[in-house]
């Protein structure tokens, strides 16, 4: 790694299975680093205050608000953005379910919604519509596609053997 620019620090981030050696300011958020340094623009900047969920990415398999995470704190951790969710040319089952259920309108919140929805199912939090809604409550949709989002999550949860509509897990 080369010498960092004045006022910047060297960091190596593992994003979507690839290592990236970067020189960044110590105060750089993960969101800004992903978008501006790595050109991974699927992760959206919504409120920039951790209130909307549009910037949700996976850190070590758990959903995180990238606007509230310092990029330096993510060194040595496994980061997954919407671009890394599925192999090239294929859709993740959650992406396909969002399309099938028309679970987006303007699409701005969709990457964060999908990342949280994947965590919802993989974490076993999709046992009922209420449980899905509770888990997904940190992701806001200005277009109010919530019923379709819940249907998409329920569909994928059903495919993976999770319980549906209040059934026992």
Q: Could you tell me if residue 3 is inside a domain?
A: no
pTM score, whole prediction:
0.89
Same domain, 22 and 76: yes
Q: Could you tell me if residue 71 is inside a domain?
A: yes
What CATH code is carried by the domain that includes residue 37?
3.10.20.30
Q: Could you tell me if residue 165 is inside a domain?
A: no
pLDDT-derived band at 2, boundaries 50, 70, 90? low
CA distance 48 to 57: 14
User: For 78-101, what is each residue's pLDDT tens digit?
Assistant: 999 999 998 788 999 999 999 999
What range does the domain containing 45 cover?
Answer: 9-84
Same domain, 80 and 13: yes
User: For 124-154, what is each residue's pLDDT tens digit?
Assistant: 999 999 999 999 999 999 999 999 999 999 9
Residue whose pair of structure tokens reads 């965590």 in the numeric block = 119
Residue whose pair of structure tokens reads 């680093």 in the numeric block = 33
Same domain, 140 and 77: no
pLDDT of 5 reads 78
- The count of structural domains within the chain is 2
Output the CA–CA distances (angstroms, integers) from residue 118 to 78, 107, 141, in the order listed: 16, 17, 17
Same domain, 74 and 98: no
Q: Could you tell me if residue 169 is inside a domain?
A: no
Same domain, 74 and 100: no
């Amino acid at each position: 790694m080369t010498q960092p620019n004045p006022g910047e620090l060297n960091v190596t981030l593992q994003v979507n299975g690839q290592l990236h050696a970067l020189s960044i300011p110590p105060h750089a958020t993960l969101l800004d680093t992903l978008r501006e340094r790595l050109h991974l623009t699927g992760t959206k900047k919504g409120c920039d205050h951790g209130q909307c969920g549009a910037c949700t990415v996976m850190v070590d398999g758990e959903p995180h608000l990238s606007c509230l995470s310092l990029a330096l704190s993510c060194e040595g951790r496994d980061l997954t953005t919407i671009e890394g969710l599925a192999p090239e040319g294929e859709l993740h089952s959650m992406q396909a379910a969002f399309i099938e259920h028309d679970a987006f309108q303007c699409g701005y919140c969709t990457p964060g919604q999908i990342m949280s929805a994947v965590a919802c199912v993989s974490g076993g939090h999709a046992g009922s519509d209420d449980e899905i809604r509770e888990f997904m409550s940190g992701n806001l949709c200005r277009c109010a596609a919530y019923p379709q989002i819940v249907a998409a999550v329920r569909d994928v949860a059903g495919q993976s053997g999770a319980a549906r509509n209040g059934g026992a897990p």
